[in-house]
Amino acid sequence: MAWNAESSDEELMLHYRDGDAGAFEALYARHKGGLYRYLLRQCRNAAAAEELFQDVWMNLIRARAGYTVQAKFSTFLYRVAHNRLVDHYRRSNQATVVSLEDEDGEAIADPPDERERPQDETLDAKRQAGRLMELISELPETQREAFLLQLEGGMSVEEIAQATGVSRETAKSRLRYAMSKLKRGMLEWR
């Protein structure tokens, strides 16, 4: 049974497990960008992101023989990446700041000061994008992770919860506050 461009991630991984290197190439092409950007935004360091990126894929390659479909492939992939990130934080003594106030949504970072922006300035899309990236980088780790998993991994709240090892409500809360901050931060740029 051959795979094609419409085969699911899980089918491709099963083909790779059974010895089809071409299936892995297709799978890699689908997820390399999203995974790389997820790691890059979380590490904020290109070299570390590349190292983690390679590590995640190598783990996947080594685990291919025992692969069985137990969850969505992207959830599996980003869970591996999440675990590698946690290891990375530990090694680099970078504390993951998780503010309960952030989770509650009351102590959200202040929106940009509108007085710093000229009212009549017309920002093009590039500048808007730059501003969005800036806001994303200012998000707490967990909220940023939830946001990136949603956009880069295409994951639902449940899948985000699985990948990060938290409850659905926690994942949903993180995602909600991340979006809230980003929207408020972008409000004056609209």
Partner 1 sequence: MALNEHGTGAANGGAERDPRLERLYREAAREAPPAHLDAAILAAARREVGSRPRSLASALRRWHVPVSVAAVVVVSVTLVILVRDEEMAERPMQPEIRADISSAEKAAAPQTPPTPGEATSETVRSRPAAAVPRRQELRDDVRASAALGKGEDSSRAESGPAPSLGVGVVATPEPAAKPLPEPFRGASPGLAEERAAPASADTVVTGRLESAPAAPNELRSARPAADAAPGRLMAQSRAAKGAEQDRPPVWKGFEKEPPEKWLARIEELRRQGRAGEAEEMLSEFKRRFPEHPQVTGPR
Q: Which stretch, 72-80, 86-94, 137-145, 177-185, contacts partner 1 (CB under 8 A)? A: 177-185
Residue from the set 44, 58, 101, 109 that interacts with partner 1 by CB under 8 A: 58
Place of tokens 């639902």: 156
Q: How far is CA 175 from CA 20, 47, 104, 171, 182, in A?
A: 37, 27, 12, 6, 11
Q: What is the DSSP annotation of 41-82?
A: HHH--HHHHHHHHHHHHHHHHHTGGG---SS-HHHHHHHHHH
Does the footprint of partner 1 cover residue 21 (CB under 8 A)?
yes
Residue from the set 44, 90, 117, 183 that interacts with partner 1 by CB under 8 A: 183
Residue 123's φ and ψ, nearest 5 degrees, are: -95, 135
Q: How far is the CB of 46 from partner 1 (least distance, A)?
A: 9
User: Would you state the structure tokens that stand for residue 50, as one six-digit string?
Assistant: 């590349």
Between CA 144 and CA 150 the distance in angstroms is: 10
Q: Which is nearer to partner 1, 50 or 138 (CB)?
A: 50
Does the footprint of partner 1 cover residue 20 (CB under 8 A)?
yes
Q: Which residues bind partner 1 (CB under 8 A)?
A: 16-21, 24-25, 28, 32-33, 36-37, 40, 50, 53-54, 57-58, 61-62, 64-65, 105, 125, 128-130, 132-133, 136, 150-152, 156-158, 168, 172, 175-177, 179-180, 182-183, 186, 190
